Amino acid sequence: MGGCSQDESSCNSCGSAGACSTDEKQKHTDEMIQKRLSSIKYKIMVMSGKGGVGKSTVSVSLASMLNAMGYTVGILDADIHGPNIPKMLGITKKGAVNSDDGIIPFEPIEGLKVMSVGFLIENDDEAIIWRAALKHSMIQQFISDVSWGELDFLIIDLPPGTGDEPLSVAHIIGQVDGSVIVTTPQDVALLDSRKSVTFSRKLGVPIFGIIENMSGFCCPHCGGTVDLFKSGGGEKAALELDVTFLGRIPIEAQVVQDGDSGTPHVIGHPGSSVAKAMKEVTIKVLEQTIKKEG
């Protein structure tokens, strides 16, 4: 059967990999993926139909909130062309550190592990110009080669739309436990978010629900709310598409500042309206996992 090593190291770190056929390498990679996934209880994709709706902020907030509740959480930054998760969590280190069990993910907060292509590029201004096959291979490696350990949740932050990366994640994982779809109340965002619902259904991914982000601006002076992008569209779309409405998250200026400084807003300002709304959303996501267990 060729010269493949029979240990649990990845093909990328195996000294005998050169003697393996392509099929043997893929078989071993598939075995490693199943080994990693067997230690992760829930795999959740965070999606959006279009960019600019705050999807990565929601991913970080959801992961941070789950971690604060006592769960062990991983964030897989599958946005290959726009890997913003490291910046949002204040991780400035570059490079990958290997162990006997694989690549060690960064852990900015105890119990919160992160892997992103952003760690692998020296210059953050460098454009990543990859075709679908290379992106698929990278996402596959992020699951098979990363030493995630035992996790309650793996939050997968996806790029906008329903293209290569979401397809790769759904194909590689096989059974994604649920998708969380982020939209803003404006019609153009809602139109695209509906496509994420259709995408999930076509691939057999349970839909945990829709989040209406940027739902009203909280004025820091008077405390009033201004509906910059309308309001209620996310809930209406959820009702029409027969999916759960997970809640509304308002806009606060401090969220932008915290995202740039690398401190999750829900951790740094737990009493804010955004943090309170995100906690309610997180509780509803947890309810969806309980419901899925039946």
Q: Is 50 annotated as a binding residue?
A: yes
Q: Is 49 annotated as a binding residue?
A: yes
Q: Is 90 annotated as a binding residue?
A: no
Q: Is 266 annotated as a binding residue?
A: no
Q: What is the DSSP string of the chain?
A: -TT---SSS-GGG-TTGGGS-HHHHHHHHHHHHHHHHTTEEEEEEEEESSSSS-HHHHHHHHHHHHHHTT--EEEEE--SSS--HHHHTT----S-EEETTEEEPEEEETTEEEEEGGGT-S-TT------HHHHHHHHHHHHHTB---SEEEEEEEPPSSSSHHHHHHHHHHS---EEEEEE-SSHHHHHHHHHHHHHHHHTT--EEEEEEEEEEEE-TTT--EE-BTBSSHHHHHHHHHT--EEEEEEE-HHHHHHHHHT--HHHH-TTSHHHHHHHHHHHHHHHHHHHHH-
Q: Is 51 annotated as a binding residue?
A: yes
Q: In this structure, what token pair is assigned to residue 258?
A: 């915290």
Q: Is 43 annotated as a binding residue?
A: no
Q: Is 54 annotated as a binding residue?
A: yes
Q: In this structure, what token pair is assigned to residue 200?
A: 């999930």
Q: In this structure, what token pair is assigned to residue 212?
A: 């209406």
Q: Is 147 annotated as a binding residue?
A: no
Positions at the binding site for ATP: 49-56
Positions at the binding site: 49-56
